[in-house]
Structure formats: structure tokens, C-alpha cells
Amino acid sequence: MQNSPEAVIIGAGFGGIGAAIALNRIGINDLVILEREDDLGGTWHVNHYPGLAVDIPSTTYSYSFEPNPEWSRLFAPGAELKRYAEHVADTYDIRRYMRFGVSVESAEWDEELQRWRVSTADGQTLTPRYLIAATGFLSQPHTPDIPGITEFAGTIVHTTAWDDDLDFTGRKVAIIGTGATAVQLIPELAKSVAELTVFQRTPIWVVPKIDFAIPAPVRRLFGRIPLAQRAVRGVTDVIYEIIMIAGVLHFRQLNPLNRGVAMLANLFRSTSVRDRRTRDALAPDYDFGCKRPTYSNEYYRTFNKPNVSLQAGGIERITADGIDTADGAHVDIDTLVLATGFDLWDANFPAIEIIGREGRSLGKWWRDNRFQAYQGISVPMFPNLFNLAGPYSYSGLSYFTTIECEMIHMQRVLGEAARRGATTVEVSERANDAFLGRMTEKLQDTVFNAGDCATSRSYYFNHAGEATLLRPTSTANAFHDAKTFPLTDYQYTG
Ligand code: NAP
């Protein structure tokens, strides 16, 4: 393996693929993509549980520069996203940079070399000039530390390590978790299991999913006239952007809109779930938008099935043959499904140890000084590092708008470095402070600060109680910033 490429990208998901395309566009072709999995696609390679599908319309959930006329539905199944990742990697000839099965452990800035030293689990060291961490937000699975979990004698499976050969027919299954993953999986499991017990800790907001198959003639039209698909994208972008701006980002000013959506979701639940106690237990007691809402036409109705029940009273412990509930019952099971999500703040910020100038540890610095990153991507004292899954980087509309803003950002900074003949770029403290101040102020209007999120247990919030994951601005503003931020916000040396 080449040891001193111009750039190393960590992760071969949509972030890493987009970063490689961006670097190629400005003439950086000497790069290596390190990926711990055995294939590309990131979350869409790792996740393949039954029912997996996007929950943002596929027209929006894709690169704007590479529309895909092949989507079979408005909300495409997960396997199509994996195929799309392969298509983009092949179309832009990115696969040649990828090294699979390589887990990065740490990266340290070498002041003498003016390069990063990237260490892998199998003992290699790479020394790229630029380091791009494209490790995603939801890449470190969370296995709950519930008492007795290691004593369970039956089958146990986390949704991120799904065993496609597992036959659930006739099984007595418990699923822990009611996040977006569980909302998709529960209706599928209920079709074949003998008994399904859903262990819910925090109810989730669920709204109907307006989904339909895209007819073949329309797909052909999209293939022949990409502009037609772009027009549809325009519509889905605008709808989701309005929901985000009105419902979440400007909650303080526009909360009747948020309340309206919550009322519709309440009505949807009331008319879908027959049993009153179950219906009440499924009702969230925090504001819509505090936590990632979900979309499903099946989830609520599944609780009407005779083989499905809800346990909302809490788990006391897991035993060899089941689960003891906090209210003294015992649920017999032979299979335990963990739809327990991801360790976001503990394991993902950053996903590997990153040591910058003067021995500064990024993770420690964030925890000691608030989570922050200029435009969600750069941090002072960490030269030549672009961390794509940074605080305030995620644009609510779609991960693809996040990536595309970051692509523009990197192209501008590294293009400027090339023009100046500089080999080191570092964002200034001043620019970073100003950006953090602006984000902090904008957060005041959001549902996270102005709404009632106390009981939501939302991963949007870090341990200090700050909602530092989403960028609290519109997508239009994120793109505007990416295209116009002063290049002098960076120092160029070397
Ligand atoms: P999640 O939203 O973090 O949900 C994890 C669930 O596990 C929550 O209900 C949580 O309860 C529960 N849980 C965790 N630890 C527990 C414990 N010790 N005891 C009891 N319950 C526990 O994770 P996810 O469902 O995998 O979804 C994560 C994100 O992935 C989504 O928000 C979405 O952004 C994305 N996603 C997208 C798609 C898609 O686009 N198709 C599909 C799936 C996921 P609490 O709420 O009480 O913590």
C-alpha cells in the first residue's frame, strides 16, 4: 500500500465517495480510501435488516449531480442505496482508491513532516498530507448494558449485524428499541414470528409515509430526461426543507406548524391502534422534532396483531430464557433483537483518536470546550483535517446535502491552497469562534431549545445537553456559506 498519498479518506460510504469525487475535481488523484468493512456503501452496506428503506424521498436522498433514474419507489429499499453507492463509485472511478478490511485506529499530526500519521489496526502507518474523516454519524453500534444480557441463552442479533439466514418463523422474539430502525423492522418481524414483544423506553413520533412505486414509464422518462427528475427533486427538497425550517429550526416563531404536525400524528396513532392502553403508551410526551421522527404506514397497525404486544414499563434484567420487566412480569423469548441504535457522542466524536498540533486530542478538547467545528468540518489546531461528521455539520434535509456542502468547502480551501502553493491549511480561531457563536444563537429558536425535549432522550443532544449535531440553518444557507465563506478564514502555510 502506498504510504504517503496526498490524501487519506477514512470511510467508503457516501461521505467518503463524495470526498474522493471532490478531490478528483481539483486534481488530487493521489489518494487512498480506508474502509473497515469488506465493501463500499457505509451504512447501506452494513444495514440489511428486513424492511430497510430510506425515510427521505430518494429523489432528495441522492447526490444532486448524479440523479438515479432506477429508484423503484419514492422511498427506495435499502438494497437500492447500496447499488447506487456502487454505481457512483464506478461512474466516477473511485473504487480504485479503496482498501477494504482496514480499520483506522488513530491519526496524529506530525509537525516535522507537516503530514498526518494514520495508524491502522493491522500495524500500517500512512502519512498523507490531507486527512478526511468520512466515518458517518451512525457507524458505532450501541449494545445496551442491560443487567444479564450476557446470560441470555437464545439467539441475539443487533440490527447492524443482521444474519440474513436467521429464520424467525414460529419464534418468540423480543425487540428492544423503537427508533427508526425498529419502526421499519417490527412490521416485518410480526409477519412470521409466533410472538413479538416490543420493549419501548421512549415512544417515537410516527407520521404516515406517502410512498408509492415509481412506474416504469416514469423511470424511463427520468433516464432520458434527467431534468424531469431534477424537477421532482425540487419538489421533494422544498417539502422537506419547509418541514425542517418550520417544524424544527424556527420552532420559536412558527410553533403552530409544529403543533399541527403533532396533532396529525396523534390522530394517525388514535385511528391506527385499537387497544387504548397500547395507544396511550405509544404517545410521545415531548415535542415533535426533538428526536428524529419516523415514517411508517405499518408500525402502529402492527400492534393490533394478536402475536404482537408492547412492553413500556421498563426492563429489570435479561435472563437465560427471557426478560424480567420492571413491573414484575417475565416475558419468555428465544430470540432477542437489539434495535438499540448507535453510540453517537461516546464513540463517534471523533470515531477514531485524532491528535492535532501540540498534542491536542480532538475528543478531549471537544468535551472540555464544547462541541464545535467551523462550518461543521474544520477545527483550529487540526491542520489539513476535514472531519465530515463534525458538530453542526448535518443538514436536516438529507445527508447528501451535508456531503455536497462539504465537497464545495473542501474544493474551495484546497483549491486556494494549490493556488497559493501552500501545503498546510488551518481554520483560524477567530472564524471558528464566530461560527460557534452564530450556531449557538440560532439554536435558541429551534425546538431543541425553545421546545420541550426533556424526556425525548434524543441523540441530537450531547452529554452536556446541547443539540450540536444538526446545523440549525436552512440548507440554502449551508450551501450559501459553503460557496461564499471567506477563504481568509483559513491560514495557508508551507
Ligand atoms: P435510535 O434512534 O438511536 O433508537 C435506538 C432505540 O433503542 C431507542 O428506542 C432507544 O430508546 C432504545 N434503547 C437504547 N438503549 C436502550 C436500553 N438500554 N434500554 C431500552 N431501550 C434502549 O437508533 P435507530 O433506530 O437505529 O436509528 C438511528 C438513526 O438511524 C435514525 O434516527 C435515522 O436517522 C437513521 N435511520 C435511518 C433509516 C432510514 O433512513 N431508512 C432507517 C433506520 C435508521 P430511547 O429512545 O429511550 O433511548
Q: How would you write the pLDDT of the chain (494 residues) with one tens digit per residue? A: 569 999 999 999 999 999 999 999 999 999 999 999 999 999 999 999 999 999 999 999 999 999 999 999 999 999 999 999 999 999 999 999 999 999 999 999 999 999 999 999 999 999 999 999 999 999 899 999 999 999 999 999 999 999 999 999 999 999 999 999 999 999 999 999 999 999 999 999 999 999 999 999 999 999 999 999 999 999 999 999 998 998 899 999 999 999 999 999 999 999 999 999 999 999 999 999 999 999 999 999 999 999 999 999 999 999 999 999 999 999 999 999 999 999 999 888 999 999 999 999 999 999 999 999 999 999 999 999 999 999 999 987 899 999 999 999 999 999 999 999 999 999 999 999 999 999 999 999 999 999 999 999 999 999 999 999 999 999 999 999 999 999 999 999 98
Q: Is 339 in the pocket of ligand 1 (CB under 6 A)?
A: yes
Q: Is 181 in the pocket of ligand 1 (CB under 6 A)?
A: yes
Is the link from the previous residue into 141 a cis peptide, with omega within 30 of 0?
no
Residue nearest atom 3 of ligand 1, based on CA coordinates = 341
CA-atom Rg of the chain in angstroms: 23
From 61, 142, 176, 248, give the residue whose CB has the most ligand 1 atoms within 8 Å, as the site to mutate: 176
Is residue 162 classed exposed, middle or buried when 0-12, 13-18 and 19+ CB atoms within 10 A define those classes? Answer: middle
* Ligand 1 centroid – CA 434 distance (Å): 33
Ligand 1 atom closest to Cα of residue 182 = 25
* Ligand 1 centroid – CA 339 distance (Å): 6
From 178, 181, 209, 310, give the residue whose CB has the most ligand 1 atoms within 8 Å, as the site to mutate: 181
Q: Is 144 in the pocket of ligand 1 (CB under 6 A)?
A: yes
pTM for this one? 0.96
C-alpha torsion angle, residues 266, 270, 275, 281 (rounded to 10)? 10
Helices vs. strands in the chain: H and E counts, helices first: 14, 21
What ranges make up the beta strands (E) of 122-247?
Answer: 125-126, 130-133, 155-158, 172-176, 195-199, 206-207
Q: What's the pLDDT score for residue 348?
A: 87
CA–CA gap between residue 99 and residue 156 (Å, rounded): 31
**Half-sphere exposure in the Cβ direction for 446 (13 Å, CA):** 27
Q: Is 202 in the pocket of ligand 1 (CB under 6 A)?
A: yes
Residue 123 burial (CB count, 10 A): 7
Residue nearest atom 28 of ligand 1, based on CA coordinates = 341
Angle among Cα 52, 403, 222 to the nearest 5 degrees reads 65
User: Given strand 130-133, what is the order of strands in its sheet?
Assistant: 98-100, 31-35, 7-10, 130-133, 385-387
Q: Is 48 in the pocket of ligand 1 (CB under 6 A)?
A: no
Residue nearest atom 27 of ligand 1, based on CA coordinates = 180
Q: Is 201 in the pocket of ligand 1 (CB under 6 A)?
A: yes
Residue nearest atom 48 of ligand 1, based on CA coordinates = 457
* Ligand 1 centroid – CA 369 distance (Å): 27
CA–CA gap between residue 6 and residue 28 (Å, rounded): 7
Q: Is 74 in the pocket of ligand 1 (CB under 6 A)?
A: no
Ligand 1 atom closest to Cα of residue 202 = 47
Residue nearest atom 46 of ligand 1, based on CA coordinates = 202
Q: Is 160 in the pocket of ligand 1 (CB under 6 A)?
A: no
Find where cell 469488506 sits. Answer: 38
Q: What's the pLDDT score for residue 1?
A: 53
Find where cell 434535509 sits. Answer: 397
